[in-house]
Amino acid sequence: MPSAKSPPSRIVIATRESALALWQARHIEGRLGALYPGVETQLLGVTTQGDRMLDISLAKIGGKGLFVKELESALESGEADVAVHSMKDVPMNLPPGFTIAAITKREDPRDAFVSNDYRDLESLPPGSRVGTSSLRRESQLRARFPLLKVEPLRGNVQTRLRKLDDGRYAAIILAAAGLKRLGLSARIACLLTPEQSLPAVGQGALGIECRAERMDLVAAIAPLDDAPTRWCVEAERAVSRALSGSCQVPLGGYAELTNGRARLRGFVASPDGVRMVYDEIAGSAAGSPADFGTALAERLIAKGAREILAALDG
């Protein structure tokens, strides 16, 4: 258990420099300030490799871990004390010596359909161009709407919206959480239900990472942890970990808790949506979320998930 030490007198928070990442870091900075009014906080902006390489899909350059590595380097060097991440960007296995000290209460985990001309996916004419950065979204779109043209879309939220407004796409799919955090809810034409687009593992949740040896920080950050969100995110991450999930794998995982009961849904697909396996489990949330997630992964494997993954590796 974390020691009951006093928090450090100063906490430097490493963050990416996009508007959304800065909002997230400032949100955590504000919460720490409310907990510890005497503690000085400072943001350290870091431009990650994932932010620099916008002309190539994430799946081809190493996945979403590229948004995390430089922030972890700042923690390792002592330039920063903590780093704030979107949990959907955090690799399933942390490097030795690092820990996610808190996962804060989840924002809306759903995907958002954004269009200036159409109200939902069903109203898009055949051949419409739909932009997304995610193989997970792409595979589900292609499975449900094979006549749409799903095309890559990289960049921060504002860049993606600008590309939509410039007429390059009939619609784009973004995380609802990011739009809501940036005060852009009015841009959402409709929210996609988990049945329409199963969310990414950890989507909508923020994680605060630090060096595991910094027990003063682990203890100071612990009050920001939201136990139900952590349970859900850990169950989702266990599914992905068991399936070796990454940005190169079209995979979704979404857990919900209701009155002590858990429901966990997951899928693995080929990028074209032709091959897809889906399953879900439900039960008591009293047990280990990792065991819950692993149980779902085993069901997906029994349905052929390994064969889909092997084809992607080949």
Higher-confidence position of 255 and 247: 255
To which residue do tokens 């619609």 refer? 171
Q: Which CATH superfamily is domain 111-192 in?
A: Periplasmic binding protein-like II (3.40.190.10)
Band (pLDDT 50/70/90 cuts) for residue 170 is very high
Ramachandran quadrant class, 211 (left: phi over 0; alpha: psi -120 to 50; beta: rest): beta
Q: Which CATH superfamily is domain 236-313 in?
A: Porphobilinogen deaminase, C-terminal domain (3.30.160.40)
Q: Where are the domains of the chain?
A: 10-104+204-225, 111-192, 236-313
**Hey, which residues are catalytic here?**
89
Tell me whether domains 10-104+204-225 and 111-192 share a fold.
yes
Global confidence as pTM:
0.91
To which residue do tokens 């159409």 refer? 118
CATH topology assigned to domain 10-104+204-225 = D-Maltodextrin-Binding Protein; domain 2 (3.40.190)
Is the pLDDT confidence value at 4 over 80? no
Q: Lowest-confidence range among 42-56, 120-134, 150-164, 215-229?
A: 42-56
Query: pLDDT tens digit string along 266-278?
Result: 999 999 999 999 9
